[in-house]
Structure formats: C-alpha cells, structure tokens
C-alpha cells in the first residue's frame, strides 16, 4: 500500500515511526503547509519519503498514493 501523509506534527512523527515495522506500507509522499516545508523535508529524509508537497490537492492527485493518513488536529 502506497501511503501519503498529511501533516508534520508530533503525531505524524509517532505514526511514521510505528509504520516502519509494517512491510506492506510504502510511505511515498507527505504534505506540509508552505511555512512547515522544512519540517516536511526533515520527516521525508528521516523516513525515506520520496515527495514533499505544499499543496494537499497535488498529494491527493498523485497516482503513486493509494491512501492517505491525515495527522491533523480536528480544528485544522
């Protein structure tokens, strides 16, 4: 399963860490708000994620993403 991730907060870091043990999950892309791009790039480097988007619609349109983990607070 090719996974896209939306968010760059602590819960995303914890989820990515936990997902490392699941061989069936391939983390392919992450969305970060433009002002959080550096955080997205750091997570991408740390967890081997190939693409960093600052437009969530582009992540959703990516044919290399089968499903999306949304790691945002309810008010976001």
Domains of the chain: 2-70 (3.40.50.720)
pLDDT band at 76 (very low <50, low <70, confident <90, very high): low
Rounded CA separation 38/9 (Å) = 12
The mean pLDDT of 42-48, rounded to a whole number, is: 96
Could you tell me the two tokens for 13?
């870091």
Model pLDDT for residues 12-23, shown as the tens digit of each residue: 999 999 999 999
What mean pLDDT, rounded, does the chain reach? 95
pLDDT band at 26 (very low <50, low <70, confident <90, very high): very high
pLDDT for the residue 74:
80
pLDDT for the residue 73:
83
Judged against a pLDDT cut of 80, whether residue 75 lies above it is answered with no
Are the beta carbons of 69 and 14 closer than 8 angstroms? no
Q: 7 Cβ partners below 8 Å, 6+ apart?
A: 31, 32, 70, 71, 72, 76
Only one residue has tokens 């994620």, namely 49
Are the beta carbons of 11 and 33 closer than 8 angstroms? no
Rounded CA separation 71/5 (Å) = 7
């Amino acid at each position: 399963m090719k996974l896209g991730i939306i968010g760059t907060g602590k819960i995303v870091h914890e989820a990515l860490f936990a997902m490392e043990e699941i061989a069936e999950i391939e983390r392919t892309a992450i969305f970060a708000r433009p002002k959080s791009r550096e955080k997205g790039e750091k997570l991408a480097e740390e967890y081997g994620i190939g693409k960093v988007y600052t437009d969530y619609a582009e992540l959703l349109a990516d044919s290399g993403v089968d499903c999306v983990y949304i790691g945002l607070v309810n008010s976001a």
